[in-house]
Structure 1
């Protein structure tokens, strides 16, 4: 691994690589802070998935959630991998468990990585590789989805326009922001009726001279009827940069 590869990072975080394959990623992670940060976000999402009863995800979702069911079955029905992030400049704390499977290594790794990426994308916490500096237009396709809502909120210098669309047991969300300081690690969250914030996307705002990026998009594992607000949190301080009420259904 010589550069940024989201699928390999996701597969590594889920413990789906062989020891030899994991060691290759480990070597890259020891010297790349950006990939280490993305690995950590992928691992957080994997832990979130691991906390959901398997029968809910594998056997329970309606037919429209078949992509999620296929992805979970592809990685054995449990996304809780064993591999841990190596220390910067050091050695991995724990080996990835060996996976067996037919086919060439590249094809097999690609299959596991695709499944891992699908799980991370479809279940809350959607890891976002993009960086945001200025607002773009709200997603017209998402805003036009059945049952979707578009809301706008301001808090100080930060302004957000967000579109949320209900799915079966989860919510798709897209947000365009302006006024968020550069170089910040942020999380887009969907807030439930009990006050629990479900992560939908993570990203780092770009340096001031970088070109504007498109809106941030992701998904959150929450029943649409329980949605009460959408917000952006500063990962370093935990502060809410902007929050606005929204109801689906």
Structure 2
């Protein structure tokens, strides 16, 4: 005849072991999922930001006009992503690239919004090694901000 106290103790030990295994399994799964998310996020970040030769140019004037430009080299030309802030609403502007010889190329244009900063993309047929400055220029030729 089996001992009921021993049987109950063995059932309790087995139940506790099973519960501990489930807890560990859930914890391991959570850690693995968190690591996978971190690795994927890091890969996406590096994929976006690690273009060979990519430069970020930032400039701010005393009167608060600010430009942040990401210059990505291409084969004999450059791609530009710029964010401009602090330009008076309604002002017609151009994004102008100047090379080391002083030649100027318009890479884009816009009308400043009353809602704040403007994000735009453009391109210029300037060798990436010859790029000197990126300017925000008004329609009447005033240079609002220059980044080098």
TM bin (shorter chain)? 0.5 to 0.7
**What do you get for the CA RMSD once the two structures are aligned?**
2.0
Match of 2:85 among 169, 178, 185: 178
1:232 matched to 2:122? The reply is no
Aligned match of 1:151: 57
Aligned match of 2:106: 199
Aligned match of 1:244: 147
Q: Distance in 1 between matches of 2:89 and 2:59?
A: 20
Shift of 1:169: 1.2
Q: Distance in 2 between matches of 1:141 and 1:195?
A: 33
The count of residues paired between Structure 1 and Structure 2 equals 102
SS at match of 1:225: helix
SS at match of 2:129: helix
Change (3 A) 1:242 1:214: closer
- Give TM-score, length-normalised by structure 2: 0.63
Change (3 A) 1:197 1:176: same
- Give TM-score, length-normalised by structure 1: 0.38
Gaps of 5+ in 2: 1-45
Shift of 1:144: 3.5
Aligned match of 1:104: none
Report if the CA contact (8 A) 1:143-1:149 is conserved.
no
Which of the pair has more CA radius of gyration?
A: 2
Instruction: Point out the structure with the larger strand share.
Output: 2
Shift of 1:225: 1.3
Report if the CA contact (8 A) 1:193-1:226 is conserved.
yes
